[in-house]
Chains A and B, each alone.
Chain A
């Protein structure tokens, strides 16, 4: 099956710092989504981004489908950004395969 690898697995940030999370995938995909799982376990959809770049506030994402990777940028991080960020790719018939996530801790 399709492989989805995220890096780095763990990241500790000082509040106000910027960071980049990376998602590599092993095969062509129809779409790619980024999710944030907050410390209470809720999974929130951040971006639907099969290709190109999107921005939402302090977050932005870029997917280069031809090179099979996507990046999530967090700028001016805040403690509320803490949690796990998941990359998920559609490997056919609207099924999403998830990476193992990037655990992010933002310290004040």
Chain B
């Protein structure tokens, strides 16, 4: 398997623009997580899905953030409108809990810079 695939790897945009980050989890994994990493706050869980259903979005900072998982092989995280404080690295991770363990595999991350 190619692992968790994220795109784009880097995104530079201007304040007010819409940003869409994409994630392809590992085939067969039943959980998908979106994390954000900043120097100030470290790694924060934004939202996660189980079998494509959003389970907990309490970490989503504002209504400007939304996430979808239309099928088992694709998820998006959208920020509209973007603000400079959204600048961060956004990670997607997936896991398979069928063995009883929830071992996360992370994608390479999408580095977002909002000017």
* Residues of chain A having any CB pair with chain B under 8 Å: 30-31, 33, 35, 41-45, 48, 86, 88, 90, 93-101
A to B CB contacts below 8 Å, 16 in the list: A41-B89, A42-B108, A43-B109, A45-B103, A48-B101, A86-B43, A93-B55, A93-B56, A94-B95, A94-B97, A95-B45, A96-B102, A96-B104, A99-B42, A100-B42, A101-B42
Assembly CA distance A46 to B111 (angstroms)? 23
A41 touches B97 (CB 8 A): no
| Chain A residue contacts of B43, Cβ below 8 A | 86, 88, 98
Interface string of B83-115 (1 = CB under 8 A from A): 000000101010101000111111011010000
Task: For B56, give its contact among A31, A48, A86, A95 (CB under 8 Å).
Answer: A95
B97 to chain A, nearest CB (A): 6
Closest to A90 in B: B102
Give the shortest distance, in Å, between A45 (CB) and chain B (any CB). Answer: 6
| Count, chain B residues at interface, CB 8 A | 23
Q: Quick check: B45 and A94 within 8 Å, CB to CB?
A: no
Q: Which residues of B contact A94 (CB under 8 A)?
A: 31, 48, 50, 95, 97, 102
CB neighbours (8 Å) of B48 from chain A are: 94-95
- For A100, give the chain B residue with the smallest CB separation: B42
With A94-B95, A94-B97 as contacts: A33 and B104 at CB distance below 8 Å: yes
For the complex of A and B, the 5 pairs showing the least CB-CB separation, nearest first, are A98-B43, A43-B106, A94-B102, A48-B103, A100-B42
Q: Chain A at the B interface: mostly helix, strand, loop or mixed?
A: strand
Min CB distance A27 to B, Å, is 16
Extra contacts, 14 of them, besides A48-B103, A88-B43 (Cβ < 8 A), are A31-B102, A33-B103, A42-B106, A43-B93, A43-B106, A43-B109, A44-B106, A45-B105, A90-B102, A94-B31, A94-B97, A96-B104, A98-B43, A101-B42
B109 and A41 contacting across the interface, CB-CB below 8 Å = yes
